[in-house]
Chains A and B, each alone.
Chain A
Amino acid sequence: MKNLLIISTILILAGTIFGQQLNGTEIIEMTYSRPTSNTMEANLSMILENSRGDQRVREIKQFTKEFGDVEKKLMVFLKPNDVKNTTFMSWSFEDGSEDQWIYLPALKKVKRISSDSNSDYFMGSDFTYEDLGDRHPSEDRHKLTGEVSIDGHDCYIVESIPNDEEYMYSKTITWVIKDKWIGYKKEFYDEDEELLKELSLVNFDEHGDVIVLTEVKMNNVQNDHSTIMRLSDVEVNKAIADNKFTERMMKRGIR
């Protein structure tokens, strides 16, 4: 599947070189298949803000590694102090299913947790589990609706409508930066086709051909709640042992 995509990407690229116009599906496929790192280690700051301006900050040490058909992630809480060393691990499988564990140091136990759907919000943020993952291009119908230059970035505007009518969003609109194939801005529309959330890219780093989005902000316009995810000390393709992603390692915490 992935190979096929790469081939088609090459074909599309060839097409653009000859001045052919890309269509919406092709643009989304380009963003989906952009090179990613095999492993990543970083410090994640999650800043949550509600409509009254109250803020909560969480500091997390995060490790991720690709294992072919499964992506494994380990998140160790550093702050606030009362949740220090609480560790969250997730294994995301290609088919969209996910296994999750949590280690609570005060309880000294690792517990499996499961949640009904990917439409649940991630750790009280404005991101759903699904917003954080990559959605396969074939799940939506895409349409290029225009091109625009914002903040010095030349962008395609692509409207995506899900094939599944029961999907949590009725529509998304993505502003894709040309030649980088990353989303600069994205709007999410709820079931009633009203604007629900706005995702914006604040910062990104280029590590060779891998682009890491180091700061993104999700703003829920309906309840005026927002989340900033900021990565620092990003290390890409650094060797991480396979056994990092086990229950035993979860209990170890950060020393």
Chain B
Amino acid sequence: MKTIRDSILNHPYITMGLILLLTVFFFMQIKNKGRMETDLDKYMPQNHPAFVYSDQAEEMFDIKDGIIIAIEHPESIYNGETLQKIKDITKSLQKMDEINKKDVTSLYTADNIVGTEDGMDVKAFYKRVPKADKLESMKEGVSNNEMVSGRLVSDDETVAVIIARIDDDVFTQDFYKAIIELGESFEGPEKVYIAGSPIVEGTMALLGPADMKRMVPVVILIILIVLLGVLWSIKSTIFTFLVVAISSVWTFGLMAWLGIPVYAVSTMIPVMLIAIGVADGIHFYSHLGIFLKKNPGADKLTAVKDMIQGMWKPVAMTSVTTAVGFVSLLTSQVYPIKYFGVFTAFGVLVAMFLTLVLIPAGIMAFNLPKQRISKDKSNHQPAGIAHTFSIALLSQRKLTWVLTLVLVLISIWGINKVWINSSFLDKFESDSDIVRTDAFINEKFGGTSTINVILETESKDTFKQPDILKLVDAMQDDVEAYNMVGSSFALTDYLKRMNKVMNADDEVFNTIPDTEELNAQYLLLYEMSGDPENLWKVTDYDYRRLNVTFQVKSDNSKVINEVLERIEGYRQALSDEGIELNYAGSGYKALIFTDLILEGQIKSLVLSLLIIVALLGFMFKSIKVGLVGSFPIVITALIGFGVLGIFNIPLSTTTALLSSITIGIGIDYAVHFLDRYRLNRNSGLKLELALAETMDHSGRAIVFNAVVVIAGFLVLLASVFPPNRALGALVSLNMFISFVGTLTVMVLLIVKSDLFSQK
């Protein structure tokens, strides 16, 4: 060890050169091979039964997410110009490479099943735009057809929609722009709105990173400024920052080198590295500062050697513990989260390595950092504050405990209110364009979110049986009674429509026919006169499977769960008929996915806590220390989740991952404090004095670290993208609780359990 240290200290330029070379190598990897993964399906575990089932059903029934283009005319869409625009938009969409011709639905493409005096007719509503005198009869035709009215044209006739269903993998930035431009080109006097889950996801994929790109430089700037204020040296600030920056480059470089794409959650890696890297740097320079204060004349080699001697152990211990904590994320079923865990662990170890090597090399090469010019008084003031704080803390034990208990109890109450939200729309400002458009379309039509219910049974022709179809119809009615469900669509709707039409458009016959034969014959008739492909979107060849689609007016998980609950009410009745009920579609998958993430998150949280207790116990050779050291983490996690519940912030993938960061930071604080305190006690200091010294040394560095990172992340509160704001607020909050918890509750625990006492 010593020889390595000495050769680094003797050849600082070579050391820095090697680090630079490696950094260039990793940077080139990012540049050449790095790629973002934006396809949300790629995030989901491909072999999880719910996803396998959903994917199969999606393929079988051709279930796809739709882009919705709505065109609004102030009075009525039944005029030549608007109808022409509906036709033109339909045709333009059909011509796009990303869209299959048959996947575009509008009033222009819709089949109109109508009853005539002597029979039935299936025809288009219009091919050429109808003349003024024909508009009235067209309007009537639409309003009499419940398969079209309220679905493609709003009941008040002012809005029509064109729906383009797309495959999961075609969405790109260019496609998004093309769609937006297409919409804009048809504006005036009509208004054109664009919505649908692909658009919401697309906007999010664009807005999130774009906002981050804007905010990150500001965050970095603030961190640099505060770091400068804390370290009081430009050199130290630059080297501390280099530790963070270079470890980020190596981490993302390694990912690119191994061919692993950058997922949305991977953007949390630098967040972690900032917190950890800054901490390492501050502890190093802080130790150096204290040494130089005590030994004003020391040369740089002695100073650096003392810095490494005094700090390598706690830095190594914190880094290894943090890294191991992150590796526990491997238990997650979600690959992007596994990668997040492993690569954050790697990054943390790189930050450790750089702190141990680059900072000493930097001092050797560019001399000792300038120390704060000390006026006599201020020289001892920090120690004074630390001392005063220690005394105060010790004398207010009861108060501290009571306060902690109250906070914990409030948090536990809050945790009970925590809810999970897989909604994409809820990630946007409530007055943003995309949310307003969605609300507008939800008000006029069935709903922008869909849930697919897949019914399946063993015996052929089950879904031609009147009793079964009536049960399905009853389920549709029942679920539709919930005001957040706009409409539903299934085989039943075709049969009811045909029955009505074949009985002279008599509303009495808008029911499921009473015999299996009549159902079968209507369906044959539909195949003869309509487009049979439509049938295979709601059932299969053998009538063993059924796809019932519900349009829901929100993608909020509370709403989706409420809908699912109503559907579940029919599980037993269906099961009695030998019919199995399952779900499919992107909305359902998102819901399951969020549950999976949280489940994995909570599992790994518990696991990493156990690992940390064991590791700390091993490092300090006392399981008691392990328990004491992990106490602030538990409190931080409790309060962190409690705050979510109290302020009604739903758990999402980002907020859930924050708990890992909490652990990483919390353990950092605890280990530094414990290590320093042990050193002080071992050197023979009495409890109060050891405490005051530790407060002055580690405590100060912890406060500095917290201040720097909190200041940096508070900047995110100015972000325009709510998830980024939440990130800023929660990281700051967690840092704050962590440091307060470490310096108060943990300290009291150390005293109480009489750790490291010299007998």
Contact = CB atoms under 8 A, between A and B. Distances in A.
A122 B530 CA distance: 10
A214 to B, nearest CB: 23
Contacts of B124: 116
Contact of B520 (A50, A82, A115): A82
A106 B518 contact: yes
Between B118, B516, B524, the greatest number of chain A beta carbons within 10 A of the residue's beta carbon is seen for B524
A116 B529 CA distance: 9
A113 B518 contact: no
Contact of A113 (B121, B521, B540): B121
Contacts of B536: 50
A54 B542 contact: yes
B6 interface: no
Interface string B512-540: 01011111111011011101100110001
A52 B525 contact: no
A115 B532 contact: no
A104 B522 contact: yes
Given A111-B119, A112-B116, A104 B540 contact: no
B191 interface: no
Contacts of A101: 119
A107 interface: yes
Interface in B396-424: none
B502 interface: yes
Contact of A82 (B121, B516, B529, B532): B516
Nearest to B521: A104
Given A56-B541, A112-B118, A114-B121, A86 B524 contact: yes
B37 interface: no
Contacts of A116: 122-124
A96 interface: no
Interface in B700-725: none
Nearest to A122: B528
Contacts of A100: 528
Contacts of B513: 106
Contact of A112 (B119, B517, B519, B527): B119
Interface string A86-124: 101000000000001110111101011111100011111
Contacts of A88: 528
B697 interface: no
A43 to B, nearest CB: 18
Contacts of B535: 124
Nearest to B95: A192
A124 B527 contact: yes
Contact of B123 (A55, A115, A122): A115
Contacts of A48: 541
A83 B541 contact: no
A80 interface: yes
A24 B124 CA distance: 37
Between A54, A80, A82, the greatest number of chain B beta carbons within 10 A of the residue's beta carbon is seen for A82
A114 B521 contact: no
Nearest to A80: B520
Number of chain B interface residues as a range: 20 to 34
Contacts of B532: 121, 123-124
A102 B517 CA distance: 15
A85 B532 CA distance: 21
A124 B528 CA distance: 6
Nearest to B123: A116
Interface in A225-252: none
A226 B309 CA distance: 78
B540 A102 contact: no
Given A50-B536, A102-B528, A114 B119 contact: yes
A50 B529 CA distance: 20
Interface string A193-205: 0000000000000
B130 to A, nearest CB: 15
B123 A104 contact: no
Contacts of B464: 82
B461 interface: yes
Contact of A106 (B461, B517, B531): B517
A111 B541 contact: no
Nearest to B532: A124
A86 B518 CA distance: 10
A86 B526 CA distance: 13
Interface in A10-58: 48, 50, 52, 54-56
Given A54-B540, A124-B527, A82 B517 contact: yes
B435 interface: no
Contacts of B541: 48, 50, 54-56
A148 to B, nearest CB: 33
B228 interface: no
B129 interface: no
Contact of B502 (A56, A77, A111): A111
A56 B513 CA distance: 23
B301 interface: no
Contact of B529 (A55, A105, A115): A115
A104 B523 CA distance: 11
Nearest to A58: B524
Nearest to A101: B119
A107 B528 contact: no
Contacts of A114: 116, 119, 121-123, 529
Nearest to B111: A116
Given A113-B529, A114-B121, A116-B123, A83 B540 contact: no
A7 B399 CA distance: 115
B120 interface: yes
A160 B751 CA distance: 96
Nearest to B524: A83
B120 A83 contact: no
A83 B528 contact: no
A120 B532 CA distance: 10
Interface in A101-151: 101-102, 104-107, 109, 111-116, 120-124
Interface in B115-153: 116, 118-124
A113 B520 contact: no
Given A52-B60, A88-B528, A116-B123, A83 B542 contact: no
Contacts of B522: 104
Contacts of B529: 113-115, 120
B483 to A, nearest CB: 37
B74 to A, nearest CB: 32
Contacts of A86: 521, 524
A137 to B, nearest CB: 28
A107 B119 contact: no
A203 B243 CA distance: 78
A62 to B, nearest CB: 15
Given A54-B541, A82-B517, A111 B118 contact: yes
Given A83-B520, A111-B120, A102 B525 contact: yes
Contacts of A112: 116, 118-120
A121 B531 CA distance: 7
B55 to A, nearest CB: 14
A197 to B, nearest CB: 15
Interface in B464-496: 464
Contact of A104 (B121, B525, B527): B525
A123 B518 contact: no
Nearest to A191: B101
B76 to A, nearest CB: 26
A160 B353 CA distance: 74
Contacts of B515: 106
Given A82-B461, A115-B123, A123 B540 contact: no
5 contacts: A86-B521, A106-B521, A112-B116, A113-B121, A123-B528
Interface of A: 48, 50, 52, 54-56, 77, 80, 82-83, 86, 88, 100-102, 104-107, 109, 111-116, 120-124
Given A83-B521, A101-B119, A122-B528, 9 more contacts: A104-B521, A107-B521, A109-B502, A111-B118, A111-B502, A113-B528, A114-B529, A116-B123, A121-B532
The 9 closest A-B pairs by CB, nearest first: A112-B119, A82-B520, A111-B119, A124-B532, A106-B518, A124-B527, A106-B517, A104-B521, A54-B541
